[in-house]
């Protein structure tokens, strides 16, 4: 490792078949934001004597879950270049990656190595061209559903699962959670004050606010549900049922505000759901978007 530190860093450009990766992860109930992939990729490269000088991702950002959550904008906040492939078929993304990599080979001599992130064997001709131009090329794969031919043409095979084991001090997701938590607490405090004045308390309905938070926090609805599941497991939130226009709903509040709401008569112990199945909510959200992608 000392030897790596003493060497001049190798400049790396990363090209990601993002739609391929995103769909592979979706099948596993995972996503790049929760995995903190881009933060960990940069740290993994630093540890291995690499300097990331470019990350470009290719995807049809009109996929419903990505579109609803402004995912393209979120990725750009990571310093990632996003290329929207629209609904022009899988081969269009492959072609665009190939064109951009070839352009980089001939126009940017500062790139020492290319990382191609894909499970698709259609990338093998591109790997050959990169090597023919005396540049190293590594392939990053996701899961086990990759083509062996792809690996055979790479100088190195790196697994996403290896990269995401990298320890980092901070995730972008942590900032999103912190901001959400402050907003959530502020909302409940304001509604308690409003109740004191009007006698009416506006619940923080689970489903309604899951949908609203997607656009505000720029995270997919299944990841927002994951965030709430984490907070629930940490004992920070609780769920309770209530009636609105005669129909049952589930609402939530910060657990440390329970006593205040009970004291004011807003909440009763009987309404609290001590074993609420938030895991089922997360799974249902994932399943819905999996069906849309079938």
110 to each of 6, 11, 248, how far by Cα in Å?
Answer: 19, 7, 61
pLDDT in tens, 74-86: 999 989 999 999 8
Interatomic CA distance for residues 15 and 139, integer angstroms? 10
- What percent of the chain lies above the pLDDT cut of 70? 97
The pLDDT of residue 232 is above 90:
yes
pLDDT in the model for residue 80: 96
Q: What is the pTM (predicted TM-score) of this model?
A: 0.90
Interatomic CA distance for residues 162 and 145, integer angstroms? 16
Interatomic CA distance for residues 104 and 215, integer angstroms? 34
With beta carbons less than 8 A apart as the criterion, state whether 286 and 221 touch.
no
Q: Where are the domain boundaries for CATH 3.40.50.1010 in the chain?
A: 2-163
pLDDT in tens, 16-34: 999 999 999 999 999 999 9
pLDDT in tens, 182-226: 999 999 999 999 999 999 999 999 999 999 999 999 999 999 999
- Architecture category of domain 2-163 in CATH: 3-Layer(aba) Sandwich (3.40)
Burial class of 281 by CB neighbour count within 10 A (0 to 12, 13 to 18, 19+): buried
Angle between the N-to-C axes of helices 90-107 and 124-132, in degrees from 0 to 180, rounded to the nearest 10: 0
Pairing of strands 113-117, 81-84: unpaired
Q: Is 241 left (phi over 0), alpha (psi -120 to 50) or beta?
A: beta
With beta carbons less than 8 A apart as the criterion, state whether 80 and 41 touch.
no
The mean of the pLDDT values for the chain is 94
pLDDT in tens, 120-165: 888 999 999 999 999 999 999 999 888 888 899 999 999 999 999 9
């Amino acid at each position: 490792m000392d030897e790596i530190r003493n060497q001049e860093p190798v400049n790396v450009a990363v090209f990601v078949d993002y739609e391929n990766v995103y769909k592979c992860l979706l099948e596993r109930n995972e996503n790049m934001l929760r995995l903190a992939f881009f933060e960990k990729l940069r740290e993994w490269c630093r540890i291995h004597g690499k300097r990331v000088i470019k990350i470009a991702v290719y995807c049809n950002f009109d996929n419903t879950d990505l579109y609803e959550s402004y995912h393209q904008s979120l990725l750009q906040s990571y310093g990632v270049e996003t290329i929207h492939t629209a609904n022009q078929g899988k081969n269009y993304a492959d072609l665009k990656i190939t064109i951009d990599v070839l352009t980089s080979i001939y126009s940017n001599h500062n790139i020492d190595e290319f990382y191609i992130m894909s499970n698709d064997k259609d990338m093998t001709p591109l790997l050959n061209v990169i090597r023919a131009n005396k540049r190293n090329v590594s392939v990053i794969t996701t899961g086990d559903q990759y083509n062996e031919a792809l690996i055979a043409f790479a100088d190195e095979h790196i697994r996403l699962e290896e990269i995401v084991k990298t320890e980092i001090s901070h995730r972008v997701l942590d900032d999103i959670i912190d901001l959400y938590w402050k907003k959530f607490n502020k909302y409940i405090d304001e509604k308690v004050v409003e109740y004191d004045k009007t006698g009416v308390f506006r619940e923080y309905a689970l489903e309604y606010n899951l949908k609203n938070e997607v656009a505000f926090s720029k995270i997919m609805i299944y990841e927002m549900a994951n965030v709430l599941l984490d907070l629930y497991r940490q004992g920070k939130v609780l769920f309770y049922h209530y009636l609105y226009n005669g129909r049952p709903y589930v609402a939530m509040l910060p657990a440390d505000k329970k006593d205040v709401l009970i004291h004011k008569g807003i909440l009763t112990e009987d309404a609290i759901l001590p074993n609420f199945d938030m895991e089922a909510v997360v799974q249902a959200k994932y399943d819905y978007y999996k069906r849309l992608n079938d």
